[in-house]
């Protein structure tokens, strides 16, 4: 079909290897539209040809080690460029600090052009090929990516593929009556079909943006808007949409972005009579995009934003022989972690991790404590029912505890998208404030502060113990607190997620050099944990992992084994000293102190942890000296 194309040999080899599957999937999705497929394939070669030599070299180096991202030496950091350093040039100037943190993967939060006041934090894109003017230019992004690559860092960027801003060129033409552009969205002459959709499609924001459709006054029609009225859903039934959006993605890759975060992935295919979530066609689209990137820019990774329980998340990895996403968020473990902080009861977390540990090792999860978004309480309530826990009451307890309204709680958070009728609010706050550091500093209570710092460090140790890619939220490494100034900004006041999206505090960052300060204690300990993780293969994603029964509902035990080394990790989620009632025969050593520490009835201080190591291949102490 493309035998007459005078294509580069490298491109031809990659293309021919995948074309039959690509063609079959594309024809299945788009009714054997040969013209659309021809356009799509020629477009791939266009972007391959435009790819700079240094990026093609980056591709080839990564292809030599396709599993590079699943090792134990990867550490990510998520940041808003404007909050971290003002502009993209500012981020570039501060890469020494990022490097000092041991970070080799930076996730730049949405920075493409979006209208002020209707941006949804940058997720309402009006131009996929322009950077927000106040942040810089596309050249600035490309220059930043080049500098990151020189330091061995990867760059991640969100790709908002479910919708565009109503200020996007396509949307403006559609609103003006252009029927070809209206076919790129979901336009209806009246409310008949939208009302049929509403019978089966859940609402994402029932309080702040009820319904899944909005009236477009200019066009005199109804348009689908799953998230907010200013975000118009794209119609991927139209091959023009898929072709052009794939081109937009490849444009970003050619500007140095090598990790694409596929935003709102489960939503991108709509079908009347369904809930418009996780439909089979979504997987077809992602699989084709994966093959497109493997042909044009094979160093690119796909990170799927699939905020659901494991049974619905795992399919987005795709079959081993026909993979889709390289990485997925471990969102359920994150939520279960904060549930455990509030309850001091590790049974749900053990259950959740047991599910993760049973998955194939090639499934790479992105693990985190906090991110730019809220904490949603999508827990396993069927499991919790056996302990007499009811969903609505439990969500209220978790929110009350973590915003500090529960007796004895030192957490400081705020509700997000509160629905008093359903009591289904979510929660916002930085790691440090949720751990109690903010309250302790306000009260000038030394004992509370020490306890809160121990909890913060213990949670990071738990983060680093999990297989996959650990990601820090910028500021967590220095214990950055909530930023309440958003309440005074009319463009942000209605969105409590800005509570944890404050500007990076560079004055506090300087305090990391003082080992007695909160910032110094956290920064140095997190750095040490990161170095230990990178030094031992037992932290590799290829390690065997299992739950260690501690016979204490306050203590979580995790076992890891790889290449003759066995690790036991014990985490005390109670503020009081606890005992892990284990009885292991081998000689164990503390990975932090290097001292011998028998794995028998191990005492773990309140809000603390133990990393114990033994070796079946080396005699004596296997612990390395790491400062």
The reply to whether 430 and 460 lie within a common domain is yes
- Which residues, 6+ apart, have CB-to-CB distance to 570 below 8 Å? 548, 550, 555, 556, 557, 558, 580, 582, 602, 604, 609, 610, 612
In a domain, 523, yes or no: no
CATH number of the domain enclosing 591: 2.60.40.1180
The reply to whether 64 and 170 lie within a common domain is no
- CA dist., res. 123 & res. 158, Å (int): 8
In a domain, 575, yes or no: yes
Instruction: For residue 214, list its beta bridge partners.
Output: 223
- Which residues, 6+ apart, have CB-to-CB distance to 488 below 8 Å? none
- CA dist., res. 39 & res. 166, Å (int): 26
- Of the residues 214, 233, 252, the one at which a domain ends: 233
User: Per the structure block, which two tokens stand in for 479?
Assistant: 């214990």
In a domain, 33, yes or no: yes
- CA dist., res. 56 & res. 296, Å (int): 9
144 dihedral zone (left: phi>0; alpha: psi -120 to 50; beta): alpha
Phi and psi at 166, nearest 5°, equal -70, -5
- CA dist., res. 605 & res. 555, Å (int): 11
For residue 143, give the 3-state DSSP assignment.
helix
User: Per the structure block, which two tokens stand in for 492?
Assistant: 């942000």
- CA dist., res. 490 & res. 473, Å (int): 25
The reply to whether 385 and 450 lie within a common domain is yes
The reply to whether 146 and 177 lie within a common domain is no
The reply to whether 275 and 151 lie within a common domain is yes
CA quadruple 230, 246, 250, 290: dihedral positive or negative?
positive
pLDDT at 29: 97
Residue 458, number of CB atoms within 10 A of its CB: 22
pLDDT at 310: 67
For the segment 445-464, what is each residue's pLDDT rounded down to a tens digit? Answer: 999 999 999 999 999 999 99
In a domain, 624, yes or no: no
- Residue bearing tokens 């992004």: 141
- CA dist., res. 507 & res. 528, Å (int): 22
Element (H, E) at 468: none
User: Listing from the earlier edge strand, what are the strands of the sheet with 187-188?
Assistant: 187-188, 221-224, 213-216
Helices (H) and strands (E) in the chain, counts: 22, 24
User: Beta strand 565-572 with 609-615: parallel, antiparallel or unpaired?
Assistant: antiparallel
- CA dist., res. 253 & res. 247, Å (int): 10
Q: State the catalytic residues.
A: 263, 305
CATH number of the domain enclosing 181: 3.90.400.10
- CA dist., res. 627 & res. 9, Å (int): 49
pLDDT at 499: 97
In a domain, 77, yes or no: yes
The reply to whether 106 and 148 lie within a common domain is yes
The reply to whether 213 and 284 lie within a common domain is no
Phi and psi at 71, nearest 5°, equal -75, 180
Q: For the chain, which residues score pLDDT lower than 70? A: 310-311, 421-422
Domain total of the chain: 4
Phi and psi at 416, nearest 5°, equal -130, 135
In a domain, 620, yes or no: no
User: Per the structure block, which two tokens stand in for 397?
Assistant: 């307890």
The reply to whether 64 and 151 lie within a common domain is yes
The reply to whether 588 and 457 lie within a common domain is no
In a domain, 521, yes or no: no
Nearest Cα residue to 258 out of 303, 304, 300, 302: 300
Element (H, E) at 553: none
CATH number of the domain enclosing 29: 3.20.20.80
Phi and psi at 512, nearest 5°, equal -60, -20
User: Per the structure block, which two tokens stand in for 408?
Assistant: 């004895």
The reply to whether 371 and 338 lie within a common domain is yes
- Of the residues 211, 233, 255, the one at which a domain ends: 233
User: Per the structure block, which two tokens stand in for 308?
Assistant: 């659901």
For the segment 212-240, what is each residue's pLDDT rounded down to a tens digit? Answer: 999 999 999 999 999 999 999 999 999 99
The reply to whether 307 and 340 lie within a common domain is no
Cα 277–Cα 281–Cα 287 angle in degrees, nearest 5 = 115
The reply to whether 306 and 355 lie within a common domain is no
Angle, helices 331-343/347-357, rounded to nearest 10 degrees:
160
For the chain, state the CA radius of gyration. 25
Nearest Cα residue to 187 out of 178, 48, 297: 178
- Which residues, 6+ apart, have CB-to-CB distance to 24 below 8 Å? none
pLDDT at 370: 97
- CA dist., res. 111 & res. 504, Å (int): 17
**Alpha helix positions (H), 114-207:** 138-150, 169-175, 179-182, 192-198
- CA dist., res. 368 & res. 262, Å (int): 17
Virtual torsion, Cα 571, 575, 577, 583, nearest 10 deg: -20
In a domain, 468, yes or no: yes
What's the domain range around 456?
330-359+367-516+530-535
CA 458 to chain centre: 21
């Amino acid at each position: 079909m493309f035998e007459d194309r005078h294509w580069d040999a490298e491109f031809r080899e990659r293309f021919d290897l995948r074309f039959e599957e690509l063609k079959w999937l594309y024809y299945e999705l788009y009714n054997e539209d040969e013209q659309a497929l021809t356009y799509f394939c020629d477009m791939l070669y266009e972007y391959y040809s435009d790819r700079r030599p240094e990026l093609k070299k980056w591709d080839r180096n990564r292809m030599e080690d396709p599993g590079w991202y699943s090792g134990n030496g990867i550490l990510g950091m998520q940041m808003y460029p404007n909050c971290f350093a003002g502009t993209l040039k500012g981020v570039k100037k501060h890469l020494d600090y990022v490097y000092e943190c041991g970070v080799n993967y930076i996730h730049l939060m949405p920075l493409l052009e979006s209208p002020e006041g209707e941006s949804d934090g940058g997720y309402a894109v009006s131009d996929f090929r322009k950077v927000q003017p106040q942040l810089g230019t596309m050249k600035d992004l490309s220059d930043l990516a080049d500098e990151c690559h020189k330091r061995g860092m990867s760059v991640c960027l969100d790709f908002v593929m479910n919708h565009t801003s109503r200020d996007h060129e396509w949307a403006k033409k559609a609103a003006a009556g252009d029927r070809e552009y209206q076919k790129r969205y979901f336009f209806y002459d009246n409310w008949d079909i939208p009302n049929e959709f509403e019978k089966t499609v859940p609402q994402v924001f029932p309080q702040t943006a009820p319904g899944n459709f909005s009236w477009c006054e200019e066009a005199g029609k109804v348009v689908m808007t799953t998230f907010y009225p200013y975000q118009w859903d794209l119609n991927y039934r139209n091959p023009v949409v898929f072709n052009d959006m794939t081109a937009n993605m490849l444009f970003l890759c050619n500007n140095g972005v090598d990790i694409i975060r596929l935003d709102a992935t489960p939503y991108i295919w709509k079908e009347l009579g369904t809930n418009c979530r996780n439909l089979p066609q979504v997987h077809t689209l992602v699989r084709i995009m994966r093959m497109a990137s493997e042909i044009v820019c094979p160093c690119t990774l796909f990170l799927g934003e699939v905020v659901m329980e494991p049974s619905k998340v795992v399919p987005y990895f795709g079959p081993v022989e026909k993979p889709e996403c390289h990485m997925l968020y471990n969102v359920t473990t994150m939520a279960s972690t904060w549930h455990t902080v509030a309850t001091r009861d590790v049974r749900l977390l053990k259950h959740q991790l047991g599910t993760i540990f049973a998955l194939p090792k090639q499934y790479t999860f992105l693990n985190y404590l906090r991110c730019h978004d809220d904490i949603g309480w999508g827990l396993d309530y069927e499991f919790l029912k056996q302990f007499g826990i009811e969903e609505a009451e439990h969500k209220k307890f978790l929110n009350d505890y973590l915003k500090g309204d529960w007796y004895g709680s030192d957490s400081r958070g705020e509700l997000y998208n509160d629905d008093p009728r359903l009591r289904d609010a979510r929660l916002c706050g930085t790691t440090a404030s949720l751990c109690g550091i903010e309250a302790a500093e306000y009260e000038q209570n030394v004992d509370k502060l020490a306890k809160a710092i121990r909890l913060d460090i213990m949670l990071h140790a738990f983060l680093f113990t999990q297989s996959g890619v650990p990601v820090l939220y910028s500021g967590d490494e220095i214990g950055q607190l909530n930023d309440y100034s958003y309440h005074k900004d009319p463009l942000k006041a209605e969105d409590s997620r800005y509570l944890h999206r404050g500007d990076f505090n560079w004055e506090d960052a300087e305090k990391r050099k003082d080992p007695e300060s909160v910032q110094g204690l956290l920064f140095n300990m997190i750095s040490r944990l990161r170095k230990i993780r990178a030094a031992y293969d037992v932290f590799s994603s290829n390690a065997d992992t299992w739950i260690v029964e501690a016979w204490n509902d306050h203590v979580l035990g995790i076992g890891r084994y790889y290449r003759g080394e066995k690790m036991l990790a014990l985490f005390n989620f109670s503020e009081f000293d606890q005992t892990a009632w284990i009885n292991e025969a081998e000689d164990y050593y503390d990975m932090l102190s290097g001292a011998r520490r028998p794995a028998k009835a191990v005492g773990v201080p309140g809000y603390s942890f133990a990393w114990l190591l033994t070796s079946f291949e080396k005699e004596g102490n296997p612990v390395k000296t790491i400062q």
